[in-house]
Amino acid sequence: MDIHADRLWNRLMALGQIGSYPDGSITRLSCTKEDGLARDWLIGEMTAAGLEVYVDAVGNVIGRLSGEDANAPAVLTGSHYDTVRHGGRFDGTLGLLSSLEAVQTIIEQKKKVRHTIYVIGYKDEEGNRFGFGMTGSRCIAGIMDPEGLEAKDSDGITMKEAMAQAGYTPADYQTCKISPVKCSIELHIEQATVLDREGLSLGIVEGIAHLLLYQIKITGHSGHAGANPMKGRRDPVVAMSEWICAVTKEASKEKYCVATIGTIQASPGSFNVICESVTFSLDIRSMSVDEIHACLKRMDDIQEEIEKRHGVMIERTLVQELKGCPCDEPMKNRLEDIMARNSIPHKRLMSGAGHDSQNYNGICPCAMIFVRSIDGYSHRKEEYSTPEDCANGAQVLYEMLLAEAGEIR
Ligand code: GLV
Ligand code: MN
Ligand code: MN
């Protein structure tokens, strides 16, 4: 192998310490102290690896290896450095640190490439603090939604206020765009069981699912929990439970569609008070956007019926739409050749999870390498990939970067 498996693993474990809890889980939310510590650690590692490092206006940490042709479009590689609440050590960070390892190996081997390579530690992919994800990659792709900067955390602090407090300049988010770009290549853990069940080390992503994120608010009528008989209540919690069961059933009717309620807030939220309102999230995804729309259309009718029966009002607000992304066929073929050459067991598979790469849809060709997740655990502390699988992934990424960036022999 060309890459250094131990160095990659040691870095993974080191970054996994930042924001870690005694139970082994990690929380690194955007613009928190832990996020800043991870950024500073990354700057140090990228600089030591020989990259030209800068942090852009929104907090993407970027290491550049200049290509021989200053006019040639750039090759982007990397992944995110934030985590979900109580997440694991591999989601995002494995991809980012594999990119760093691959490019450091290119530097150490004194190889020359035609295209400049950007190793990117993307800012806030998970969106767990502000309920708005992919901020860093959307800024780099030049498709940031300015209203995302106004999204608030649970304390009412907006993303742009938090960024300013962390020393960034969110008003300059348009300066983050990197252009022109030749292609993007991201490595990530699979986060499901397909590779593990089939005994395969790596995957080649066919494409990334489409995602719609909504906030649903149901308003009813508050009152005393003991004094009001069951008949005649306008309880939004009861309406919500029916709504959730219905969306679960409707999503299950589609081939690829998955619907998840991840956050719920009841107001006023006291045990002896019938709630006035409930607000919850709906994360709905599919490989086919038509499936999502078909499911939501059926929900419109069901919702109307629930509103009438419970005397409540249901409002559904779109928070974010992340378009799916087919991966590039020639790049997939090149990955396949590299994996075959290295005798690494692999297969092609779809990604139900979202990734920074999907923001380059329509901007440049994208490819993704998946690394087997043991037992499929992800977004939880049990997330794990073996050192051998991680090393396989980084080696393939290294060879792929040399191919894409045009190694000069
Ligand atoms: C990112 O992890 C997502 O798919 O939500
Ligand atoms: Mn994730
Ligand atoms: Mn991720």
pLDDT tens digits for range 41-51: 999 999 999 99
Q: Which of 126, 328, 289 is nearest to 210 (CA)?
A: 289
Q: What is the pTM of this model?
A: 0.92
Q: How far is residue 376's CA from residue 385's CA, in Å, rounded to a whole number?
A: 9
Q: Is the dihedral of CA 17, 19, 25, 29 positive or negative?
A: negative
Q: Note the pLDDT of residue 334.
A: 98
The C-alpha R_g of the chain, in whole angstroms, comes to 23
The Å distance, Cα 155 to ligand 2 centre, comes to 23
Task: Give the mutation target among 286, 379, 383 for probing the ligand 1 site: most ligand atoms within 8 A of CB.
Answer: 379
pLDDT score recorded for residue 270? 97
Contact yes or no for 366/184 (Cβ under 8 A):
yes
Q: What is the pLDDT of residue 155?
A: 97
CA 57, CA 81: separation in Å to the nearest integer? Answer: 16
Q: Does the C-beta of 92 come closer than 6 Å to ligand 1?
A: no
What's residue 174's pLDDT?
98
Q: Note the pLDDT tens digit of each residue in 65-114.
A: 999 999 999 999 999 999 999 999 999 999 999 999 999 999 999 999 99
Q: Is the peptide bond before 268 cis (omega within 30 degrees of 0)?
A: yes
Cα–Cα distance between 22 and 26 in angstroms, integer? 9
Distance CA 177, CA 137 (A): 9
Q: For residues 69 and 409, what is the distance between their CA atoms, to the nearest angstrom?
A: 14
pLDDT of residue 93: 98
Q: Give me the pLDDT at residue 163, please.
A: 98
Q: Assess contact for 103 and 121: CB atoms under 8 A.
A: no
- What is the C-alpha to C-alpha distance for residues 234 and 70, in angstroms, rounded to an integer? 65
Q: How close is the Cα of 126 to the center of ligand 2, in Å?
A: 6
Looking at residue 301, its pLDDT comes to 98
Atom of ligand 1 nearest to the CA of 285: 4
Nearest CA to ligand 1 atom 1: 354
Question: With bands split at pLDDT 50, 70 and 90, how would you rate the model's confidence at 158?
Answer: very high
Average pLDDT of every residue of the chain: 98
Distances 102 to 141, 168, 303 between C-alpha atoms, Å? 23, 28, 51
pLDDT score for 58: 98
Indicate whether residue 3 lines ligand 1 (CB < 6 A): no
Q: Exposed, middle or buried, 30 (CB in 10 Å: 0-12/13-18/19+)?
A: buried
Phi, psi at 322, each rounded to 5°: -115, 110
What is the structure's pLDDT at 7? 98
242 CA from centroid of ligand 1 (Å): 26
Q: Assess whether the C-beta atom of 62 lies below 6 angstroms from ligand 1.
A: no
Residue pair 10/45 in contact (Cβ under 8 Å)? The answer is no
DSSP codes, 355-404: -GGGGGTTTS-EEEEEEPPGGG--SSTT----HHHHHHHHHHHHHHHHHH
Residue 124, ligand 1, Cβ within 6 A: no
Mean pLDDT, to the nearest integer, of 275-290?
Answer: 97
